[in-house]
Structure 1
Amino acid sequence: MIKKTLFILFFLTCHIISFSQTEEVSPPDFIKTITFKGSTSQAQLPILRLGEPFSLEFDALTGNEEDFYYKIEYFDFDWKPSQLVKGEYLKGIDNVRIINYLNSLNTYQMYSHYDLRIPNQQTRGLLKSGNYMITIYDDYDEVMFSRKFMIVEDVITVGVQAKRTRNFETINEKQIVNIKINSGSTNLNNPLETIKTLIIQNNNLNTAISDLKPQYTIGRELIYRYDDEASFWAGNEYLNFETKNVRTASLGIQFIDLKDLYHSYLFKQISRKNRPYTWNPDINGNFLVNVIDVDNIDIQADYTLVHFTLKENEFVDKDVYVYGNFNNFTIEDMTRMFYNRESGNYECILKLKQGFYNYKFVTVDLDGNLDEGAISGNFWQTENNYKVLVYYRDLGARFDRLIGFGETNSERIRN
């Protein structure tokens, strides 16, 4: 009986530990256009240098000038809570109200634009490299949303190379990523245990490959030349549209109508899975807020109702979603398409701020498995962006430093 009780307690403990990774919280439908901005540009996957200022911006479409607050937490490589206390990674305080916001101007959709800048008078800086999460909540302590971001210190150099897979079964559909880490003058103790890597395709943390071990050590270089373990489905180039001018149809838009808001009707799309690969420039799933003839894009860009249409036979055991970084690659009811049996089309309407957007159509089966290539296809020629993060926890250390960052794309992919 005692052995059985101990087994149950062990099983429950392991179960809790294995599911203790912290996930991001998606925003409600009245929170839109969440963006990070570093010191130089807008980024949907914020990888910042230690000491670099940044801002988190978003819109609240309630029109009530809501009060929002923020807190910042530090995490280990695997997104489990760190052992560090707040004073060890944050200079100053958090858990305070966001005071910088402006109301929209000359727009059909009323909203308030919030701009949280770090460092500020209360939060004077972040002291450690590694994984962070910022959480936004309201007056009632209800979490509105959370976003992950990373801070890197340049200690080592990371070489990244994208190649066509060597697996003949998927040679036309997959790409692999080779990594070379050069520690330079830094002594990395026992790298098989202390070094951890993360490979990210197109800024999407949901499909990242983590914690590959170095296969070879040559002097001060760690070599990673995996095939299957470091392979990604190549996908296809993203579709795109632009709504910077709501008075005339532009890129990807068939026509525009004005009702309560502007309605942008995109050209009907078809499946590209069994069609030849065609290159077209994209920004790998990202988006950029943009509008013409205004002084302040943040508050003068309007929201439009964007109509997506896909000509496709109805899937029996799968749902179809609109997919992209406009909502952090989240699979949610808002982006699920509904099948119109009268027209034979999948349809979806999303409220999006004026700008340039990438998107694709994906399927999710009854078990929750995502298939990015079910409608778009997978082609080894596809241009994808790959980022590699390298973490290090020295022997006896209490946290994972992010000591290196490398980046490449598959535009000139090699066999």
Structure 2
Amino acid sequence: MPSSLRILLGLLSLWLTACPVVTEDSARSRPAYQRGPTLRYEDYVYVANIHSVQFHQLEVAESYPVLYLGRNEPLELEFDELLPEDLRESEFYVDLINCDANWNPSSLLPIEFYEGFTQDRIDLFQRSEFTKMTYVHYTYRFPQENEFFKMSGNYLLKVYRGNNPDDLVLTRRFVVVDRRIPISSKYLLGERIERERLTEFSFELTAPGLQIFNPAQDLDVRVLQNFRWDNAVRIPQPRFYGDNRYEYYIDFLKSFDSGNEFRRHLIESTRLYSESVQDIEERPQFFDVFLYPDQPRARNVFQTRRDRNGSFGIRVLEWQRPHIQADYVRNHFALEVDAPLPPDDKVFVFGRFSDWQLMPAYQMRYDSLRRRYEASFFLKQGIYDYQYVVRHGDDPWPDPRPLEGPHTESENFYSILVYHRQPGDRSDRLLGYQPLNYYE
């Protein structure tokens, strides 16, 4: 054996004995700070100092994160990292993950669904100006120039810190649409489809050029309310089909909790009081904003009002650049109730600002002396839609009915999504998308 080969084999043997074998058991035994949080395939913030996450079509701040194959219309992600002035900004990176219709990760490689680099660094950031609470505002836009998606479907945008993909910061869902399945509306009971309300609705699909043998298996039809995924409704099969046409029906009142129109909190200024603000107190490090106490609306007569269907927007009156000049203020919410709900019932302030989730930061506590539920948390200056919802025991679903009422007249935005998986595909394609009572 040549001496050079003998030396090489010796070094290889030494390297193998020096490096421990990493097994599943040894990985699980690592400390939590080394493993990092578990990736969730949903809208979620993993870090306490990340706030005001907005994910939308470019220059349309309250739009939904929808891309279309063949169009050069990027999405924009914005968020803030609350940081003292003496700390430098973080290095954040992004990654794109393809998912099936049920938001499970697919086995597709990035090269199969994206032309370009799915991993990238967030290079656009700015420090806050003229604010009591200091922060860094980050912006990321994609697809970049000369990059595009090759395949429609569900996708997850993952943001992580440094060069460690397990050091998660936030995740956001979005969809890419290839409009190959036209969706046409059918009117019921002589109603017009309008922004104000929808109670029941039928629609027809056509699938030109697609092989549909069993529509209950080959087509996956979902309906979203206000682009929420937590209460998305799947329509299992069409009512009628034939001649490559498929008619579906949904009763919105039975499928969704209509709730009530959203309440509104406007905090554009720390000097001028809006209709929702009772008092403002200045502290050395931040402002305290006290809202007028709210009342339950379960038994009230329904009153129509224009809302933003749970959305929020960043605004400030005194400055021109709200993304870096709007301040974070501590908001004090109060809901007057004569007696607390049963012990297993928890009350939350709820909306798009909470990622449509029952987050501990927005849970209310009952004050027996003041006879009301209270919660205090920081929000960036702007306009916020919100509701009071209840979690019953271990049930994870938010229930607006006890405090907001089951009013059938309330309006919401609805979207239809149609998925199809061709023979040989390893993920679901989104081939139909139709907003019902709003414009894109």
Q: TM-score range by the shorter chain?
A: 0.7 to 0.9
Answer yes or no: is 1:84 the counterpart of 2:108: yes
Alignment of 1:113-128 (within 5 A): 113-120=137-144, 124-128=147-151
Equivalent in the alignment of 1:319 = 346
Letter of the 1:147 counterpart? R
- Per the TM alignment, residue 124 of structure 1 is displaced from its structure 2 partner at its CA by 2.7
1 CA distance for matches of 2:314 and 2:429?
33
Letter of the 2:82 counterpart? L
Contact 2:67/2:177 (CA < 8 Å) preserved in 1? yes
Answer yes or no: is 1:95 the counterpart of 2:122: no
- Per the TM alignment, residue 99 of structure 1 is displaced from its structure 2 partner at its CA by 1.0
Identity %: 28
**Deviation string for 1:203-243 (max 9, x for gaps)?**
21111112522121153431112448962121100000111
Letter of the 1:398 counterpart? R
Equivalent in the alignment of 2:158 = 135
2 CA distance for matches of 1:162 and 1:75?
33
CA gap of 1:44–1:366, structure 2 versus 1, over 3 A, is: farther
Letter of the 1:341 counterpart? S
2 CA distance for matches of 1:216 and 1:350?
50
Instruction: Give the gaps of 5 or more residues in structure 2.
Output: 1-38, 190-197
Contact 1:48/1:152 (CA < 8 Å) preserved in 2? yes
Equivalent in the alignment of 2:407 = 379
Alignment of 1:274-285 (within 5 A): 274-285=299-310
Equivalent in the alignment of 2:388 = 361
Q: TM-score, normalised by structure 1?
A: 0.85
Alignment of 1:191-230 (within 5 A): 191-227=215-251
Alignment of 1:258-277 (within 5 A): 258-259=282-283, 260-277=285-302
Answer yes or no: is 1:349 the counterpart of 2:349: no
Contact 2:235/2:250 (CA < 8 Å) preserved in 1? no
Contact 1:253/1:264 (CA < 8 Å) preserved in 2? yes
CA gap of 1:323–1:160, structure 2 versus 1, over 3 A, is: farther
Greater strand percent: which structure? 1
Equivalent in the alignment of 1:59 = 80
Letter of the 2:369 counterpart? E
Answer yes or no: is 1:393 the counterpart of 2:418: no
- Per the TM alignment, residue 40 of structure 1 is displaced from its structure 2 partner at its CA by 4.7
- Per the TM alignment, residue 381 of structure 1 is displaced from its structure 2 partner at its CA by 0.8
Q: TM-score, normalised by structure 2?
A: 0.81
- Per the TM alignment, residue 157 of structure 1 is displaced from its structure 2 partner at its CA by 2.2
**Deviation string for 1:141-180 (max 9, x for gaps)?**
411111111111222222357979xxxxxxxxx9444332
Q: What is the count of residue pairs matched by the alignment?
A: 381
Equivalent in the alignment of 1:168 = none
Contact 1:70/1:135 (CA < 8 Å) preserved in 2? yes
Match of 2:367 among 331, 340, 344: 340
- Per the TM alignment, residue 89 of structure 1 is displaced from its structure 2 partner at its CA by 1.1
Match of 1:28 among 42, 47, 53: 47
CA gap of 1:303–1:402, structure 2 versus 1, over 3 A, is: same
Alignment of 1:163-174 (within 5 A): none
Letter of the 1:138 counterpart? R
CA gap of 1:149–1:180, structure 2 versus 1, over 3 A, is: same
Contact 2:57/2:63 (CA < 8 Å) preserved in 1? no
2 CA distance for matches of 1:43 and 1:161?
28
1 CA distance for matches of 2:436 and 2:296?
28
1 CA distance for matches of 2:74 and 2:212?
31
- Per the TM alignment, residue 24 of structure 1 is displaced from its structure 2 partner at its CA by 4.0
Answer yes or no: is 1:144 the counterpart of 2:144: no
Letter of the 2:124 counterpart? N
1 CA distance for matches of 2:414 and 2:437?
6
CA gap of 1:160–1:348, structure 2 versus 1, over 3 A, is: farther
- Per the TM alignment, residue 138 of structure 1 is displaced from its structure 2 partner at its CA by 1.3
1 CA distance for matches of 2:102 and 2:308?
28
2 CA distance for matches of 1:80 and 1:66?
29
Letter of the 2:377 counterpart? L
CA gap of 1:177–1:233, structure 2 versus 1, over 3 A, is: farther
Name the SS of the counterpart of 1:206 in structure 2: strand
CA gap of 1:39–1:220, structure 2 versus 1, over 3 A, is: farther
Answer yes or no: is 1:109 the counterpart of 2:133: yes
Contact 2:56/2:64 (CA < 8 Å) preserved in 1? no
2 CA distance for matches of 1:269 and 1:228?
28
CA gap of 1:231–1:179, structure 2 versus 1, over 3 A, is: farther
CA gap of 1:86–1:21, structure 2 versus 1, over 3 A, is: same
Contact 1:209/1:230 (CA < 8 Å) preserved in 2? no
The runs of 4+ residues in structure 1 deviating greater than 6 Å are 161-164
Q: Tell which structure's C-alpha radius of gyration is larger.
A: 2
CA gap of 1:226–1:359, structure 2 versus 1, over 3 A, is: closer
Match of 1:69 among 93, 107, 129: 93
Name the SS of the counterpart of 2:123 in structure 1: coil
Letter of the 2:429 counterpart? R
Equivalent in the alignment of 2:24 = none
Letter of the 1:128 counterpart? M
- Per the TM alignment, residue 390 of structure 1 is displaced from its structure 2 partner at its CA by 0.9
53-62 or 152-161, which moves further after superposition? 152-161
Contact 2:253/2:408 (CA < 8 Å) preserved in 1? no
Contact 2:55/2:78 (CA < 8 Å) preserved in 1? yes
Contact 1:74/1:81 (CA < 8 Å) preserved in 2? yes
Instruction: Give the gaps of 5 or more residues in structure 1.
Output: 1-19, 165-173, 411-415
